[in-house]
């Protein structure tokens, strides 16, 4: 199982077991972050930093069983 946490306003695009902002997926055949996100109606232009196991990843990052993914929105300001 791969757990994806959606942060900030993106949280509304996922819900598992009543937990907002969470997606659970299976790691079949080297699935990529993009392939999992394609299964939910999340607008990819608003996807910013992708964190895979605590490190910076991308839509192309291939995932394995047990990976943890955090998706942040694009940010501006500070």
Partner 1 sequence: MAGYQDLVLRVNLTTGKVATESLNKEWARDFLGGKGLGIKYLYEEVGPGVEALSPENKLIFMTGPFTGTIVPCSGKLGIITKSPLNGYILDCSIGGSAAVEIKRAGYDAVIVEGKSDYPVYLLIEDGQVELKEAGDYWGLCCHDTEEKLKKVYGDDYSVLSIGPAGENLVAYACITSDLYRQAGRGGVGAVMGSKMLKAVVVKGTGAVRAADAKKLMDVTYNAYKNDLLTDTNLWAYTDGTPMIVELSQTTGILPTRNFQQGTFDQFANIKSEAVAAAREAKKGCVSCGLGCGNFTRVGEAVVEGPEYETLSIAGSNCGINDLGAIVKFNANCDAFGLDTISAGGTIAFAMEMTEKGIYDFGIRFGDADKYVELPELIAKREGLGAELALGAKKLAEKYGGIEFAMQVKGLEFPGYDPRGAWGMGLAYATAPRGACHMSAWPVADEAYGEGNPFTIEGKAEMVKDLQHYNAAKFSLILCDFWALSFDIMAEMLSALLGEEVTAQSLEQAGERIFNLARLFNTREGLSAKDDVLPARIHRHPLATGSTEGKTLPEEEFIKMLLEYYSIRGWDNNGVPSGEKLQELGLR
Positions in the binding site for partner 1 (CB under 8 A): 7-11, 43, 46, 48-49, 51, 54-56, 58, 70, 72-78
Minimum gap (Å) between residue 29 Cβ and partner 1: 25
Cβ proximity of 53 and 63 under 8 Å: no
How many angstroms separate the CA atoms of 73 and 22, rounded? 15
Q: How many CB atoms lie within 10 A of CB 1?
A: 9
Identify which of residues 29 and 60 has a Cβ nearer to partner 1 in the complex: 60
Residue 28: CB minimum distance to partner 1, A? 26
Measured in whole angstroms, the distance separating CA 12 from the mean position of its chain's CA atoms is 12
Q: Which is nearer to partner 1, 12 or 26 (CB)?
A: 12
């Amino acid at each position: 199982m791969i757990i994806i946490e959606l942060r900030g306003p993106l949280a509304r695009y996922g819900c598992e077991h009543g937990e907002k902002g969470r997606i659970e997926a299976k790691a079949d055949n080297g699935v990529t972050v993009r392939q999992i996100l394609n299964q939910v109606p999340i607008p990819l232009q608003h996807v910013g930093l992708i964190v895979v196991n605590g490190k910076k990843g991308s839509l192309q990052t291939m995932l394995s069983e047990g990976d943890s993914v955090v998706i942040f929105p694009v940010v501006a300001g500070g």
